[in-house]
Amino acid sequence: MKIKIFNLSDGVHNFNFDEAVKNIELNEPFFGNILVEAELSKAHGQLVLSAKLTAKANFDCDRCNTNFDSTITNTYKMVYLSGMEPEESDSINVTYLPPDADKIVLDDDVRDFALLALPMKRLCNEDCKGLCPRCGKNLNEGDCGCNHETMDDRWLPLMELKNKINNN
């Protein structure tokens, strides 16, 4: 994913990319293609990129273990400055380009911001009911008949042990 900046006129330019995730070294849980809608504005020799990413990822739900696909989106802004990177620079939204740069390459930033957008909690649904701690049934598919009202977390290990013994 490259944008030629050599002789680019001032103003706003739009670029769309549709790239296989593996081409930018995005591995599991990502799959398929990543879409990048980029808007590059040039003014006074400064370049500002706004990018919107859309990718697909595949997860196992943290609660019920069901495998599901999810759409991952993120947006980021990147300012491109000409010159040497100052030593104390720690901004992740500024990239320094050599004075003779004729293109910008989006791959690394797109990969980083896609990874940042991965959720900490991976739920098939915000309201996923999870598995019954007693019998293991997926409660999204219906109730299992166990009494959940009186369940006390402190007894869970004991209940699981009891289930194991009963099942053997």
Chain residues that interact with Zn ion, rule: CB under 5 A: 61, 63-64, 124, 128, 132, 134-135, 144, 146
Q: For the CB of residue 69, give the shortest distance to Zn ion in the complex, in Å.
A: 13
Partners of 13 in beta bridges: 40
What stretches of the chain adopt beta strand conformation (E)? 2-4, 11-20, 30-43, 46-60, 67-82, 94-97, 103-105
Give yes or no for a contact between 26 and 34, defined as CB atoms under 8 angstroms apart.
yes
The rounded distance, in Å, linking the Cα atoms of 37 and 43 is 20
The residues near 138 (Cβ < 8 Å, ≥ 6 apart) are: 64, 65, 66, 131
Q: Which CB sits closer to Zn ion, 1 or 124?
A: 124
Residue with Cβ nearer Zn ion (13 or 134) = 134
Q: Smallest distance, Å, CB 164 to Zn ion?
A: 15
CB of 63 to Zn ion, least distance (A): 5
Structure tokens belonging to residue 15: 């670029």
Residue with tokens 């293109």: 103
Instruction: Tell me whether residue 51 or residue 139 sits nearer to Zn ion (CB atom).
Output: 139
Cβ closest to Zn ion, residue 1 vs residue 61 = 61
Supply the minimum distance, in Å, between the C-beta of residue 32 and Zn ion. Answer: 22
CB of 26 to Zn ion, least distance (A): 24
Terminal Cα-to-Cα distance of the chain (whole angstroms): 57
Q: Which is nearer to Zn ion, 51 or 61 (CB)?
A: 61
